[in-house]
Amino acid sequence: MPGPARARRLRAPSWRDPRLVVGVVLVLASVVLGARTVSAARATTGVWALTAPVGAGTALGAAQLRVAQVSVEEATAAAYLPAGQAPAAGWVALRGMAAGELLPRSAVAPADELVERAVSLPLEGALPDGVRTGALADVWVAWPAEGGGAAAPAGAAAHPRPEEVVGAAEVVAVTERSAALAGAAGADVQVLVPSGALPEVLRALAVDADVVLVPVPGSAGAAR
């Protein structure tokens, strides 16, 4: 008669077991990958950000800037001005930017690169909704009628139709006037005027023409 079958003993896996080697490799790979992911998430780059809305032509200095630590790819970070490199003296914003916006290299330059000039336009009455720093507005002028106390441009009719003298001018600054101080509500609005339209705008101010700003729809969103 055959004897009872012997129980098979479990043996500890050998280091030569391929399954054990593969398992160890997978564990090490996951640890390294996790460490790199955490390190990349913690790595940040210091860039300049705006503390308040600015319009084109605004001089940039310590009062308008703060350091923001952001986590971006190296190629993306190169598009912004690093915190270790402050804008040079005399540099200005080339376009309107909102508070908190990171400062792109392409949005700053020496003041002499601006092709527009800031002109202050006195507006009477309530300021149109949407006219704010960084927004765009069309500049319209209603010339005074002849004999009304100021000379109108040559060829102007007795009751001329208003005409647009600047399209999509950027608003640089807005200073509202108190009715108690000025006698009537209103505001002084600085806009950027291209050099070609500058004579017409200055002529309108000289003859005391009615100047109206018409906001460009949708342009005020970035300035809020």
Please give the pLDDT value at position 162: 87
Cα separation of 98 and 116, whole Å? 20
Name the helix (H) or strand (E) containing 219: none
Least confident of 10-14, 120-124, 195-199: 10-14
Lowest mean pLDDT among 15-29, 59-73, 149-163, 181-195: 149-163
pLDDT tens profile 52-66: 888 778 888 878 889
Q: What is the mean pLDDT of residues 34-61?
A: 74
Q: What's the confidence (pLDDT) of residue 32? A: 63
Residue 133, exposed/middle/buried by CB under 10 A (0-12, 13-18, 19+)?
buried
Answer whether residue 112 shows pLDDT above 60.
yes
Flag whether the pTM goes above 0.85: no
What is the fold, at CATH topology level, of the domain defined by 16-114?
Type Iii Antifreeze Protein Isoform Hplc 12 (3.90.1210)
State pLDDT tens for residues 10-35. 555 555 666 666 666 677 777 666 65
pLDDT at 220 over 80: no
Read off the tokens for 206. 């000289």
Q: Where are the alpha helices (DSSP H) in 17-154?
A: 18-42, 74-77
CA separation, residue 120 to residues 90, 116, 171 (Å)? 21, 13, 10
* Whether 171 contacts 133, CB under 8 Å: yes
pLDDT over threshold 70, residue 90: yes
Task: Give how far Cα 184 sits from Cα of 13, 139, 178, Å.
Answer: 93, 21, 7
Mean pLDDT estimate for the chain: 77
What the block records as the tokens of 120 is 């202050």
User: Distances from the Cα of 85 to the Cαs of 59, 88, 153, in angstroms?
Assistant: 16, 8, 50
Q: What is the pLDDT of residue 41?
A: 47
Residues contacting 119, CB < 8 A, separation 6+? 190, 191, 192, 193, 198, 201, 202, 205
Domain boundaries, the chain: 16-114, 115-223
Q: 128, 124, 91: which is closest to 106 by C-alpha?
A: 91
Backbone CA torsion sign across 165, 166, 167, 171? negative
**pLDDT of res. 202:** 93
Residue, of 78 and 149, whose pLDDT is higher: 78
Residue 224's pLDDT band, with cuts at 50, 70 and 90, is very low
